[in-house]
Amino acid sequence: MEAKGGTTNTNFAEMYYYITIPIMIIIHAGFLAYEMGATRMKNVLSSGVKNILAFAFVIPAFYFFGWWLYWALPTGLSGSMGAMEISGVAYANSIAWGWGESAAYMGPNTGDQIDGVFWGAFALFAATTASIMSGALIERIQTVGFIICAIVLGGFSWVVAAAWGWHSDGWLVTQWGLHDFGAAGLVHAVAAFFAFGVLFNLGPRIGKFNDDGSSNDIGGHNMPFTITGLMLIIVGFWGFLMACVVPGGESWSWGHNFATIYGTPTNLGALAFNILMSIAGGIIGAWVCTKDPFWMMSGALAGIISCASGLDIYFPAQAFVIALVAGVILKPCADWLERTFKVDDAVGAVTVHGTIGIYGMLMLGIFASGYPAIEAEGAATTSFIGQLVGSVVFIILGFGTGWVTSFILKMLGMLRVPDQAQLDGLDPTKVPVQAYPEGIPTSPAPAE
């Protein structure tokens, strides 16, 4: 009976992670629609091409390099994945190319039911970081330059953050008690501040800023498409956050069936309560301040991100209030960022994912102070200082790698498209087909 129960638990875990993968792909369908709608007609397909290629390039980058880093960097001494317990060095030396004693864990193997789907879920986290960055850079970045940035972000930058703060051996967890259950910092903030670093070297779109420093609004061509894309991202985030939960069966000492990535107890009921309440809070907060449907749907995303670090801990009322505040401060923070740094973040991605991600991490440091960081005797506990240290690390890691990568690309002439291509449009100059070959029909003018 015990063996049969173990097999059932393993089969359930395999199916559980397998299901999260297509749900998370909905995130990328959402980003595709969101960014294409947020661009002008002359750049629609160029934005779509970037999103498609980011997904395609980040997946193998994570397979060949990123997964290796995740298991090699937390301590450099030991690593584990599912039933496998081998030295981190041996694992790191073999998984990247599928060679050595771990080859069975990086390819089809009927005896291995967990590692492929667990890797798949993590690979989608990696791809999401590139999509977060993408929206901020639309309408003026070169395709190859963008792909290189996506590979560095998805295959390196966020993976280092995950190894340090999303692994039970990570030094931010064991030494500082970092808790970031839903990756508000190590996915969202790292990706956003990577984009922020790129924006400094990329520069604004032509016509964004005036000589006196004031800015002009450069609206997209299809706001309904953008808002629908944002809703699809919300749908996909149910899979993203579902994949942050580890089905544990009867092996967990505290007797529950689900755990966080840190081994602390949680369940899907906590996610159901808190995700829905955070979506509602974010929308209401943004509606009160802007009445703008774009910012309302961005507020929904900000609401989830603001609560993501503690979705496993919060009471629903806490999640609602934290998300409500996130929705209220969202647009003012985006305006301040643009006004202060003169960067052209086309969709507010740095604010939604970066500013709000850090806000969410610090809120957890206040509301969950003293909570055990990992399931271990004498484990470090969560604190505001620990969350602050983690936030600073993620900001530096994201911004630093983004700025350095884009600076090198700028020096090589691979970052920004020529001004004339911007004026003519990236679709006619870079894409062999037209998005709207017959134009977009418009309503006739009202009769006099």
Phi then psi for residue 388, to 5 deg, are: -65, -45
Give 94-122 pLDDT, tens digit per residue. Answer: 554 554 455 566 777 777 777 889 899 99
User: 306 lies in a domain?
Assistant: yes
User: 223 lies in a domain?
Assistant: yes
pLDDT score of 95: 52
Residue range 60-83: average pLDDT? 71
Q: Quote the CA–CA distance of 410 and 405 in Å, as a whole number.
A: 9
pLDDT score of 2: 47
Residue range 69-76: average pLDDT? 77
**pLDDT category of residue 23 using cuts at 50, 70 and 90:** very high
Give 24-50 pLDDT, tens digit per residue. Answer: 999 999 999 999 999 999 999 999 999
User: 105 lies in a domain?
Assistant: yes
User: 438 lies in a domain?
Assistant: no
Which candidate, 338, 364, 388, 407, places its Cα nearest to that of 194? 407
- Mean of pLDDT over the chain: 89
User: 445 lies in a domain?
Assistant: no
User: 298 lies in a domain?
Assistant: yes
Residue range 213-240: average pLDDT? 96
End-to-end CA, the chain:
82
pLDDT score of 84: 35
Tokens of 148: 């290189």
> How many domains is the chain built from?
1
Q: Three-state secondary structure along the chain? A: CHHHHHHHHHHHHHHHHHHHHHHHHHHHHHHHHHHHHHCCHHHHHHHHHHHHHHHHHHHHHHHHHHHHHHHHCCCCCEEEECCEEEEHHHHHHHHCCCCHHHHHHHCCCCCCCCHHHHHHHHHHHHHHHHHHHHHHCCCCECHHHHHHHHHHHHHHHHHHHHHHHCCCCCHHHHHHCCCCCCCHHHHHHHHHHHHHHHHHHHCCCCCCECCCCCECCCCCCCHHHHHHHHHHHHHHHHHHHHCCEEECHHHCCCCCCEEECCCCECCHHHHHHHHHHHHHHHHHHHHHHHCCHHHHHHHHHHHHHHHHCCCCCCCHHHHHHHHHHHHHHHHHHHHHHHHHHCCCCCCCHHHHHHHHHHHHHHHHHHHCCCCECCCCCCCCECCHHHHHHHHHHHHHHHHHHHHHHHHHHHHCCCCECCHHHHHHCHHHHHCCCCCCCCCCCCCCCCCC
pLDDT score of 92: 52
pLDDT, greater one: 332 or 440: 332
Tokens of 116: 């492929």
**pLDDT category of residue 270 using cuts at 50, 70 and 90:** very high
Residue range 138-159: average pLDDT? 97
pLDDT score of 9: 67
Q: Quote the CA–CA distance of 401 and 154 in Å, as a whole number.
A: 11
Do 382 and 373 touch, CB atoms closer than 8 A? yes
**pLDDT category of residue 76 using cuts at 50, 70 and 90:** very low
Which candidate, 382, 363, 234, places its Cα nearest to that of 300? 234
Phi then psi for residue 246, to 5 deg, are: -110, 115
User: 130 lies in a domain?
Assistant: yes
User: 437 lies in a domain?
Assistant: no
Residue range 341-370: average pLDDT? 97
pLDDT score of 73: 82
Supply the range of the domain harboring residue 271: 2-79+86-246+254-430
Whether 389 shows a pLDDT value over 80: the answer reads: yes
Residue range 332-355: average pLDDT? 97
pLDDT score of 75: 63
Residue range 386-395: average pLDDT? 98
Whether 162 shows a pLDDT value over 70: the answer reads: yes
Whether 278 shows a pLDDT value over 90: the answer reads: yes
Residues 6 or more apart whose CB falls under 8 angstroms from that of 68 comprise 92, 95, 96
Residues recorded for the chain: 448
Residue range 78-95: average pLDDT? 44
> What is the CATH number for 153?
1.10.3430.10
* Percentage above 90 pLDDT, the chain: 75
Tokens of 85: 């317990």
Give 257-269 pLDDT, tens digit per residue. Answer: 788 999 888 999 9
